[in-house]
Chains A and B, each alone.
Chain A
Amino acid sequence: DIQLTQSPSFLSASVGDRVTITCRASQGISTSLAWYQQKPGMAPKLLIYAASTLQSGVPSRFSGSGSGTDFTLTISSLQPEDFAAYYCEQLNTYPSTFGQGTKVEVK
């Protein structure tokens, strides 16, 4: 199975900060990577797919980049509603796999 390693696992930030989360795959996955946001007690919500395509309705402060094995999710200016957990998922090869997550907390 392809392993995804996210970093950091926890991130303390303030409103207005620029936040970057990385996801590294154990082997090349082209651009077949999605990013999700999850708030407590809720289902994950798709933010980005194909590494850099913004899902409809998602604010433009979210962006993604990368290909092959290294990917990033960037929030350009953190908003109060962005404090949540974030997960990457590779869909290049089944079984699909998720990263272990990054929790973005209030500093």
Chain B
Amino acid sequence: QVQLVQSGTEVKKPGASVKVSCKASGYTFTANFIHWVRQAPGQGPEWMGWMSSSSGGTFSAPKFQGRLTMTRDTSIGTAYMEMSGLTSDDTAVYYCARGSGADNWRRLDLWGQGTLVTVSS
């Protein structure tokens, strides 16, 4: 079954870091990029960055540069997203998504179920 399965709900205090995992199955993990998207309560999706699952190369949106780290373990087909310096504004559901296609045919065609991260003192 082709799917992305994410780790569970996290509750963190302001200033802490969080690490979310995203395990791929049913396809060749290194054949696609993994993107991270978050969605604050009642808001639309916000794109955070992508990682090449084969090379490990990354690109983060300027808003998250310096706080966002994306890594992967190809031996177990799992991507990770770590965010540091959390504030209440980082409370959101975090999604991983598979990137497919190139140029005008890029799209996010497979999504994880989401991981709720709550930042509260």
Task: Decide if A94 touches B107 in the complex (CB within 8 Å).
Answer: no
Which secondary structure dominates chain A's binding surface?
Answer: loop
Chain A residues with Cβ below 8 Å from B63 are 95
Taking the complex as formed, is B29 at the interface, i.e. its CB lies under 8 A from any CB of chain A?
no
Q: How many residues of B contact A (CB 8 A)?
A: 26
Contact B107 A34 (CB under 8 A): yes
Nearest residue in A to B100 (C-beta to C-beta)? Answer: A49
Question: CA A53 – CA B104 in complex, angstroms?
Answer: 11
Q: Do the beta carbons of A55 and B106 come within 8 Å of each other?
A: no
A26 to B95, CA, bound (A): 26
B106's contact among A32, A43, A44, A45, by CB below 8 Å, is which?
Answer: A32
Cα A46 to Cα B114 with chains together (Å): 15
Contacts known (A98-B44, A101-B44); A34 close to B104, Cβ less than 8 A? no
The reply to whether the CB of B14 lies closer than 8 angstroms to some CB of chain A is no
> Is the Cβ of A49 less than 8 Å from the Cβ of B112?
no
Give the CA-CA distance A52 to B108 in the complex, in Å. 15
User: Considering only CB atoms, which chain B residue lies closest to A38 in the complex?
Assistant: B45
Are B104 and A46 in contact (CB-based, < 8 A)? no
Instruction: Identify the B interface with A (CB < 8 A).
Output: 35, 37, 44-47, 49-50, 59, 61-63, 95, 97, 101, 103-109, 111-114
**What are 11 pairs between A and B in contact, CB < 8 Å?**
A32-B103, A32-B106, A36-B45, A43-B113, A46-B107, A49-B101, A49-B105, A89-B108, A95-B61, A96-B35, A100-B44
